[in-house]
Amino acid sequence: MPTSTFNNKKIHWQETGEGTPVILIHGFCEDSRMYSSFFPFLTDAGYKVIAPDLLGFGLTETHPEASISIQAEMIEYLTNYLGLASPVLIGHSMGGYIALECLQRNNISWAGVGLFHSHPYPDSPETQQKREKGITFIQKNGLKPYLRDFYNYLFPEPFIKAQPQTIQQLKNCSVSYDPQGVITAQKAMQNRADHQNTLETSKVPVLFLLGLLDTLLPKDKLLDQTHLPAIADIQILKHVGHMGAFEAPATCVRIISNFVKFCESNSSVNS
C-alpha cells in the first residue's frame, strides 16, 4: 500500500488503473477497504482509482486536530503528490463533507463531486448531542463497545438479518482504529461548515447517490439538497439505506462510473 507524509503523519492509500482519476473518500469508522469491490469495475472502465485512508482510520496515522478542513488539505496534498489532473471526487457520508470542503476551497481543478449518502448541511443540535455522547462513551469504555451497535444504525433491518457477516466484517476492520482518531472525527463533524452555498455556486457536476431508507437524514433534506447545484445527477435507490457500497455495490459503482464519464464530457465541452 503506497505511503507518504502529510503534516508529519504517515498517510496510506490504495491506487489502481490508468485514465481519468477518481478519488474515493470513505466515511466515519470506515477506511479505503469499503471500496474494494469498486476497484475492478472502475479500472476496467478506464479510470485511475485512488482510495485514501483518512487521518485516524485504516493505516493512516491520527492527527490530533484533524478537522474536516485538515482532512480536505490531506486530499489536496495527495492529489498534488500523485500529479492527478482534474480528478472526480466521490465521498461517502463524512467523506462527502470532506469532498464539499475540497470543492469550496477551490485549490484543485475538480472535474466533479459525488455525494454518496451525504449532504451539505451542518449538524443539528440533536446530532451534535449524539456525537458528544459517543465521544464520552468511547473515552469511558473504549472503541470496541462503541462499535458493537454502531453499524446496525447504518443498514436497513432486512439487510442486517440477511447479511450479519458484512456487519461483523466492518467491526473487525474498525476495531483496530485509534480511539482518539474516531473521537477527533466526531468533533470534526460536529464543527463542520454549512456547504449549501458551495453546492449552489458549484460550476462542476454534482452526483447525489442516495438511499431512500437512509435514516440519518430527514427525507425532505435528503431531497432538498438535489436542487442546489446547477448541474446535478440525482440517483435515489429505493431499497438502500446508508451503505450502498455494501447493500447494492454493482448498482452504485455503475452509477459512479457513468457520472465520471459525464464529467469527462462536461470538462471537454468547457475546456
pLDDT attached to residue 271: 52
Closest-CA residue to 20 (of 112, 106, 97, 114)? 112
In this structure, the strands spanning 232-237 and 9-16 are: unpaired
Q: What is the DSSP string of 220-237?
A: HHHHHGGGSSSSEEEEEE
Distance CA 30, CA 168 (A): 13
CATH label of the domain that carries residue 131: 3.40.50.1820
**Number of other residues whose CB lies within 10 A of the CB of residue 84:** 18
Closest-CA residue to 116 (of 97, 96, 102)? 96
Q: How many domains does the chain have?
A: 1
Distance CA 124, CA 6 (A): 31
- Domain around 11: 3-270
From first to last of its 271 residues, the chain has per-residue pLDDT tens of 899 999 999 999 999 999 999 999 999 999 999 999 999 999 999 999 999 999 999 999 999 999 999 999 999 999 999 999 999 999 999 999 999 999 999 999 999 999 999 999 999 999 999 999 999 999 999 999 999 999 999 999 999 999 999 999 999 999 999 999 999 999 999 999 999 999 999 999 999 999 999 999 888 888 999 999 999 999 999 999 999 999 999 999 999 999 999 999 987 656 5
In this structure, the strands spanning 88-92 and 206-211 are: unpaired
pLDDT attached to residue 220: 84
Distance CA 21, CA 46 (A): 9
Beta bridge partners of 11: 4
